[in-house]
């Protein structure tokens, strides 16, 4: 089955720093989403981005489907950005999202 790899697994930043999170996937996908999991466990939608580039405030994402990767950019990080970021892909011909193992981000004040 499809493999989804996220890097780095852990990231510690000072407040105000920028970061790039990466998601590689091993096969063609219909959809890709980025989520932020809050401390209570809920997955918060960041981007629905099967291809192209999107921006939402300090966050932006780019997916290059032909090269099978997606990037999540966080600029001017804040302590509230801390948490786990997941990439999830919907492989072609299936109805189930496959999640990466996540990037655990900690932003220090």
Partner 1 sequence: KAGVTQTPRYLIKTRGQQVTLSCSPISGHRSVSWYQQTPGQGLQFLFEYFSETQRNKGNFPGRFSGRQFSNSRSEMNVSTLELGDSALYLCASSLEEDTEAFFGQGTRLTVV
Least spacing, CB of residue 89 vs partner 1, in Å: 11
Q: Does 97 bind partner 1 (CB under 8 A)?
A: yes
Least spacing, CB of residue 75 vs partner 1, in Å: 23
The residue from 26, 73, 90, 104 that contacts partner 1 (CB under 8 A) is 90
- How far is the C-alpha of 73 from the C-alpha of 93, rounded, in Å? 29
Taking residue 52's Cβ as centre, other Cβ atoms within 10 Å add up to 10
CA separation, residue 88 to residues 12, 13, 62, 81, 98 (Å): 22, 24, 14, 19, 5
Are 21 and 71 in contact, with CB atoms under 8 Å apart? yes
Q: Which of these ranges, 16-24, 37-45, 52-60, 64-72, lies near partner 1 under the rule CB under 8 A?
A: 37-45
Residue placing its CB nearer to partner 1 in the complex, 14 or 95? 95
Q: Does 45 bind partner 1 (CB under 8 A)?
A: yes
- How far is the C-alpha of 17 from the C-alpha of 96, rounded, in Å? 35
Q: Provide the binding-site residues for partner 1, judged by CB under 8 A.
A: 30-31, 33, 35, 40-43, 45, 48, 86, 88, 90, 94-99, 101-102
């Amino acid at each position: 089955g499809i493999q989804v790899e996220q890097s780095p697994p852990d990231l510690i930043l000072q407040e105000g720093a920028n970061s790039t999170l990466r998601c590689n996937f091993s096969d063609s996908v219909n959809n890709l989403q980025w989520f932020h999991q809050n401390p209570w466990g809920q997955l918060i939608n960041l981007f629905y981005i099967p291809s192209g580039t999107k921006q939402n405030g300090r966050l932006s994402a780019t997916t290059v489907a032909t090269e099978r990767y997606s990037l999540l950019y966080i600029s001017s990080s804040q302590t509230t950005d801390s948490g786990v970021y997941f990439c999830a892909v919907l492989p072609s011909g299936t109805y189930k999202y496959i999640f990466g193992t996540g990037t655990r981000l900690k932003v220090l004040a």
